[in-house]
Homo-oligomer: A and B are copies of this chain.
Amino acid sequence: MKIKIINPNTTQAMTDGIREAALTVARPDTEIVCVSPEKGPVSIENHHDEVYASVGVVEEVRKSANDGFDAFITACYGDPGLYPAREVAAVPVIGIAEASMHLATFVGHRFSVVTILPRWKAVMEDVISRYGLEQKCASIRCTDMEVLEFESDPEKGARELYEESVKAIEEDGAEAICLGCAGMVEFTADLEKRLGVPVFDGVTAAVKVAEALVDLGKTTNKNLYFNYPQKKEYIGYPDLLG
């Protein structure tokens, strides 16, 4: 099967890291294509970034509509562009937040999300509410680090993720940790070993969910809420829905 992963930001190093992570869990017969949009923010840390990133996600899904992909994955933990991309695609589109949160519920009583800057917490709340998972979420714990800082200062990243995860476990009752940024995938294994609790990275979780849905032959219901966008004029975007 062929899966296209879209890193909604435009930082190539992150795209490379995501591809690499995906390949560690993809089955031998799963082909992974991993890209960034041509345009958009180098990182996604607020609602404004999400708007522009969503355009990029939708474009990447649209341009590959006829390339035989069996599934798409959006690889930013706010799942920006997920629902519009699901409208555009005929095949399943999986967000890394929804994939990892759902899987986390199978191995622990409640999960916590450990993530970037405090302002990202509001986005996380929205995402969790959209998937109806409030009751299974013990807490959202933020570090004080920006997305790209996890790459530039991985030592600090490892330390802060560990510290916040410990608080989530000890104070909030988390039994699984979901890492709330696609750029944290490299910390997963080490963190899990040190914490002694399951730690989920969104990218690898989404690859497995995508494989599962494709194997089961299930795809998005196109009858109503995620039906293709109606054909209509977009001023300034000739032929967008043509």
Contacts and interface: CB of A to CB of B under 8 A. Distances in A.
A50 B223 contact: no
A210 B82 CA distance: 25
Contact of A48 (B88, B130, B198, B211): B88
A220 B105 CA distance: 10
Given A119-B224, A122-B109, A58 B48 contact: yes
B108 A221 contact: yes
A221 B107 contact: yes
Nearest to A132: B135
Interface string A140-170: 0000001000000000000000000000000
Given A48-B88, A109-B122, 7 more contacts: A38-B236, A92-B106, A103-B212, A119-B227, A121-B225, A132-B133, A204-B216
A215 B200 CA distance: 12
Interface in A184-242: 196-198, 200, 204-205, 208-209, 211-213, 215-216, 218-221, 223-227, 229-230, 232-237, 240
The range of chain A's interface size is 35 or more
B119 A130 contact: no
Contact of A45 (B204, B213, B230): B230
A59 to B, nearest CB: 10
A119 B109 CA distance: 11
A46 B229 contact: yes
A10 interface: yes
Given A87-B46, A122-B225, A205-B216, A234 B132 contact: no
